[in-house]
Structures are given as C-alpha cells and as structure tokens.
Chain A
Amino acid sequence: MNTRNKITLLLAIFNAVMVLVFGGSVYYFLQNYSYTDFYKRLDTRASIAARYHFESDTTDANNLKALRQEHLEMLDGEREYVLSISAIDSIPALARRNDLPEILLRKTLVSGKERFNSGNTFYSAIRQDSNGVVHLVVVSANNYYDSHHQVLLRNIIGVGLVFTLFLGIGIAVYFSKHVYDPIRQIIDKVNQISTNNIHLRVDDYEKDGEINTLIHTFNGLLDRMETTFETHKNFISNASHEISTPLTSIIGEADVALIKDRSGAEYKEALTNILQQAERLRQITESLLFLAQTGYKENKLVLELLRTDELVWESIKIMDKLIPGHQIKFDLNLLPENPVKLKIMGNKQLLLLAITNLLTNACKYSANKPVTISVGSTNSSIIVLITDKGIGIPEEEMKFIYDPFFRASNTKLYDGYGIGMPLTRNIVKIHKGTLVVTSTVHVGTSVQITLPLAILS
C-alpha cells in the first residue's frame, strides 16, 4: 500500500470512529433521558391521582382533577387504576382483571412506590393507606417518545453516519491527493533530469514551507553534482591536453631531426629538447600520481609530532633552493609564547609539500613581491596564513581552484599545470584541517590553513 492510500485509510477510519462515538453517545444518553423523563411524568400523574382519590375533601379533589385535565396532557394510552387490596391472595386475580403485571403490584405493596415497564407500556404505582385499607394507584401509558422519536433519531443518526463516512472518505482521498501533488511534481521533474540536462532545476512550489526546503535541498544536491560532472569533464580534457603538449613537441623534435642527416651537435640539441619535454611529462604524471594517492591514502598516513614554526623555517629553506632571491618573510608577531601550542600531528613530507606549494604560488604569481607567512594558534588549532601581493584570482573562478589542471584566466603568463592547489587541499584535508582562500584581483591572495593542535597527554 502506498503512502497516499495509507493516509486516505487512516483519515477515513479516524473520521468514522469520531462520528460513531459522537452519534452513539447522543443516542445512548437521549434514550436514558427519555426513560427517566417519562417515568417522572407518570409519577406526577400517579401522585395527583392518589391525592384526589384519597387525601382531599371533595372540593379539593374536583379542583385537582380539573387542574390535571387542564394542565397535564393526556399521554398515549394513559390509564389510571385505583385498586383496593383486601388480601395478598387477591393480587393475582386483580392483576389479571386489570391487565396489570402482578410483580408490579407485589413490589409496590412492599416498597410503597414502584416503576415498571413491559415492552412499550410504562407503569408508575403508589401505595396509599386510608382508613385501614391498602390501595394501589397505578398509572400506565405508552411511551410515545420511545416508540416514535427514538426510531426517528436512530434513522437520522444512521443515515448521517453513512453520509459522513462517504464524505469523510471523499475528503480523505482529495486531501491525500492534494498533499502529495507537489511531491509528485518534484518526482516528475527530478526524473526528467539526466546527465544530459543536469542544468535543469526544480521550480519553487510556494513561498516557504517544508516542500520548498525539500526543493532547495534537491537543487543544492544538483548544483554539487553539476560541479562534480564539470570537474570530471574538465579534468579529462585538461589532463589529456597537458600530457599531449610535451608529447607533441617530442614527436615534432624527433621528426624534424630525422628528416635528413644532421651533425652530432644538432642531434645533441634535439635530444636535449626531447629530454626536457620528457622530464616535464614525468613531472606531470608524478604529480598526478601524488594527487591520486593523497586523495585516498588517509589511513596509511604516518603521523609524527611536529612544530609548526620549524615546518615553516624548513619550507623557507626549500624555497631558497627553488626560487633564489625570494622575499618570503616569516611573521612571528602572533606566534604563541607556549611552544605546546605549536605542536601538530602530521606527515612532515606532505605538510612541507603543501606549504612550499603555497609559497611557490605566492612568489610566482606576484613576480617575487614580498610574501608573508604568519603563524598563530587558538586553543584548539594552528593557523598558518600566507599572504602575497600578486595578481589574485578572479572572483568567478574561485570555485574552480581545487579542480585538477584548472588554471585561472589571468595566469597565461606563468608556468604551471594546475595541480598545486588540489594537491595542497588534499594534504590539508587528510590532516583534518581546512583551507580558506581569499583573493582580490590585482590586490593579492591570502591562504589560511587551519590544522588541529596535537592533543598532548
């Protein structure tokens, strides 16, 4: 059973139970009340009858009789009996003669006042002793209400019940359909989206509400999926381009060298060029391999206790070899006084690689302008900030900087393959840190690495 039918059924059952309880209780209490009420009316008549038969003098009796006829309506089949009981034995005969139930007479003799009903006929009896003789005053009538009104009420409630039941089912069906409308719409729309038209999005349904939150969640998911697809597409095209460029020059160089016989010096030059390109090819494949490894080798990482400031000094030493004459300044202004707050658990080689990568970028894209690397520490993490005054990254390209082989549009003049940033991010990620890049074109870029502090026991 699907959810829609379940909702319909639940609503219908709920509705039926409510109506049934309501109708049933109305019927039950009204019936109870009708019995009590009818007996009370009979009681009044019986007591008035008793009074004008036995208690009062003749004038009063006539008055009472007149009053009764004037103000108390004649009930359906109302009859009045005045019986004098001479002996207990005469009761069955009396009962038979007057067509009265014997048990009523017996009970009244004992209790003095009794109510009784057989079928639709109701009785009220009073015992009255006068002048040493025991009398019984009995008033009987048919319960008109019970026979007519009750049936009418039963019919009304019955018909109403069936009617409301059907109405309830109808509303439940409509309601469940209406509630599930937007969800069906979303399902239809999402089903339309495939790899070919992943740019499609689900339209907003209403101003706000849970459905809209769901739609936004879906759209967010689609956004991320689209980016991933794009990255994959870009990766393949960029990777093949990067690899084919040196290959083309190797082939071209070899081709040209083989066209005719050449001198040893010329062959040497051609081979040197080929070697250079092959070296470049090796670098690309190596860094690709490294990128792939840092992507999934999280568990096999060997961690050791490191001091962040030492890491920075060492990477500056590496930079001395890579870019002689760089202007990197280690800013110690916010270095914590307590060396414990500098210790992190990490893989030295990988972290050095990440920091030198960022420093190389900072120097390269700022044409060797001053670069500052600062270290500070909170109570839970180390913050390393690398700031340059370089060309910056265009704002709309910021989201691509971690894509392998992506190079910003303003980097045409600089050498590189676009592996550094994704590699650095992978390294920071496997150290459970975060990387925040802030950049403004022509102003500069700053990269903030946050790494968790080592927990020292």
Chain B
Amino acid sequence: MPDTILVPTDFQVESLNTVKLTLEQTSTLIYIVLVYPMYPSGSITDLLFYSPGKLIRQSVSEEFTSALEILKNRFESRLGGIRTELFHGSTNNAFKNFIEGQGITHIAIPKTYVLKTGKDSFNLLPFIKRCGTPCTMLDWPPFQHHLTPSQQLQTLFI
C-alpha cells in the first residue's frame, strides 16, 4: 500500500513547496492529498447546490494549476496522484475522520511559511498537531520579493 500524504494548502504557489520537498525526500510511489480548510457556506442555496469541485475551481489560480502541472511532470514516476480536497469540519474528531476517510498515512507541513487564511478559511495546524498522525515539518527560505499573481510561479523554483 503506497503512502498517502496530506499537505495543507492555501492555494498559493509557495505552499506547494511542501509537496516538492516531500517528493524530493522520497523514492517510493506516494499519493498526495492537498487540503484546503474552508468554512461551509451559510447560504441554503449554496449548500443545496454544493459542489466541492466548483468551489476548488473558483479558488485556484492559473499559476497554482501550472505549478501543480510542473510538479506532476517533474515527479511523474514517484507521484501516484495528487488531488485537492476541502475540509469543512470544526472538531478534532471530524479531522480524524477526514484523515481516516482519505486514507492518510502521513502529514507534511511547512515550518516557517505561514499558510494564508482568507475570510472563508481557517488554520488547520491545531487539528494536525492533535490528530496523532505522524507529521513532518519542511522548511525553505522565505521569498523576499513582493509578488503580483502573475509572478507567483517562481516561488516554486527555490
């Protein structure tokens, strides 16, 4: 059974460095699950027509998609698959269930990089620290330029 690694993301290209470093350190086939923590919508119509795929497509930028493609092309033989999931829960048990449901064996989180939380998302780190699944911290030098969205792709090339 290949490893499935959970990586929290904020849909910024820089957060994908965790994936890059994870893949660089492994030599066996692994699966990656990117998780974006998101508050469920309060609107009844949104909940009625709930579609995680649509929500993800709305939040993901073109650069993020390109960056994912770069990673897939780079680690074609080691990366079994990479998928993006939304986590809507608010309790530790919900997160444990999520991990069990997704078949996660390992978690990788950034050490210095702070995942950005927009107004619709929250910090996943407290859940990760308390869930009991083995967790690795990965670090890369912080990026110094002030970037516009079209310039973000270079944050992957550190």
Contact = CB atoms under 8 A, between A and B. Distances in A.
A444 B144 CA distance: 9
Q: What range describes how many residues of A lie at the interface?
A: 20 to 34
B72 to A, nearest CB: 8
A304 to B, nearest CB: 23
B157 interface: yes
A336 B76 contact: yes
B69 A337 contact: no
Contacts of B57: none
Contacts of A376: 70, 73-74, 156-157
A62 interface: no
Interface in B1-40: 20, 24
B70 A436 contact: no
Given A376-B156, A385-B157, A443-B145, A336 B73 contact: yes
B41 interface: no
B125 interface: no
Nearest to A375: B157
Interface of A is mostly: strand
Contacts of A334: 20, 70-71, 74, 156-157
A379 B72 CA distance: 9
A364 B96 CA distance: 54
Contacts of B145: 438-440, 443-444, 446
B112 interface: no
Interface residues of B, number: 22
B147 interface: yes
B70 A377 contact: yes
B102 interface: no
A448 B153 contact: yes
Contacts of A331: 157
Contacts of B76: 336-338
Contacts of B147: 438
Interface of B is mostly: helix
A374 interface: yes
Contact of B74 (A336, A381, A436, A446): A336
Contacts of A377: 69-70, 73
B151 to A, nearest CB: 5
B154 interface: yes
Contacts of B20: 333-334
Interface in B55-100: 65-66, 69-71, 73-77
B150 interface: yes
Interface in A196-246: none
Contacts of B154: 385, 387, 438, 446, 448
B75 A378 contact: no
B146 interface: yes
Contacts of B24: 333
B157 A338 contact: no
A288 interface: no
List the 3 shortest-distance A-B pairs measured between CB atoms, nearest first: A336-B73, A378-B69, A376-B70
18 contacts: A333-B20, A334-B70, A334-B156, A334-B157, A337-B73, A374-B157, A377-B69, A377-B70, A378-B70, A379-B69, A383-B153, A436-B151, A438-B154, A443-B144, A444-B144, A444-B145, A446-B145, A446-B154
